[in-house]
Amino acid sequence: MQSQVQDTPERRAFYEKIDKCNMTALWTVMSALITPEPKSGCVPFLWKFSEIREAMLEAGKLITAKEAERRVLILENPGLRGQSRVTTSLYAGVQLVIPGEVAPAHRHSQSALRFVMEGSGAYTAVNGEKTRMEVGDFVITPSQAWHDHGNMSDKPMFWLDGLDIPLVQFLDASFVEHLGQDEQPIARPEGDALARYGANMMPVGRARGGATSPIFNYPYSRSREALERMRLSGEWDPCHGLKMRYINPETGDHAMPTMGTFLQLLPKGFTSARYRSTDATVFSVVEGRGRSRIGDVSVEWGPKDIFVAPSWKPIVHVTTEDAVIFSYSDQPVQQKLGIWREDRGNA
């Protein structure tokens, strides 16, 4: 047990003296700096898509995608209000592009993911290649990649944006550039990246790739089929059901260097074992209904709802229907630093 530092008039006078020199005594703050377990302002919370959608459509009448640059409503964690954070290290928002709009081309040092929630036929262009977006697709915008979004369909498109903004902000490494035109030049045919790297093959002569996957759209149709085929084996993980990690096919590592992305299937009537890990996680429901107990908080979720679990809070999922859930966290960063930790059922 850590000893309690006693307060005395002499010590207080010393603290005041060194404060004028921009110094602080470690022993007065050590218990707050190095805690026995993770301690964060991040709290469990659920955003209902019905409420997000209503607010987004109202925003669509107030401002264009071009004027806003990105028409997004930030999902702020209630314990971190005013900081544009869903967890201490990650950002989440929901973006709307209405028919006929283009969100103009720019690039930035932050890495971004898109997870499509509603609509069909809009596109994202990344570094000279377009990809159409369908519900459940996971789309990557790598750091410093030119990207723009457009909607040539007749229905509004909604997707979840996940970025490492707080992490990059903490490191003082933020840069952004604007192309000066709405759409970037297209240099490669649609589907080129998936053809080159999405069939368990790689182009001969290509040097080993970078930290971000060269595939920038992981179609939900493929991912969902994989989960359904895996169901036939009946090998359910007690904590996760069937949970798959999106990977960089060149390295086998996470698809993105700062954000781990996952897709899991939980069968109807499934109750997971208690699980906790140090990576605070954002969940986006694709299919099904259920509830999750996160620490002392219980949230009821359905299709398109989004919820967050803080670091080291035990989670139990209970399903009333087959459920498919996408999630992302800062797990890759923690693993590279050697500090990631999990507890399977002993919380």
Would you place residue 243 in the very low, low, confident or very high pLDDT band (cuts 50, 70, 90)?
A: very high
Fold of domain 41-344: Jelly Rolls (2.60.120)
User: What confidence category does residue 145 fall into, taking pLDDT thresholds of 50, 70 and 90?
Assistant: very high
Condensed to tens digits (0 to 9), the pLDDT of residues 205-233 reads 776 678 999 999 999 999 999 999 999 99
Report the 10 Å Cβ neighbour count for 91: 25
Residue-range domain boundaries for the chain = 41-344
* Residue 1 pLDDT > 60: no
The pLDDT mean for the chain works out to 95
Banded pLDDT at 347 (limits 50, 70, 90): very low
Residues contacting residue 139 through CB under 8 Å, at least 6 positions apart = 113, 114, 115, 116, 124, 126, 131, 133, 159, 216, 217, 218
CB atoms inside a 10 Å sphere around CB 220: 21
pLDDT value at residue 250: 92
Stated pTM of the model: 0.95
**High-pLDDT (> 90) share of the chain, %:** 93
Tokens describing residue 286: 């694709």
Contacts of 34 by beta carbon, 8 Å cutoff, 6+ apart: none
**Model confidence at 2, in pLDDT bands (50, 70, 90)?**
low
Q: What is the pLDDT of residues 155-187, one digit of tens each?
A: 999 999 999 999 999 999 999 999 999 999 999
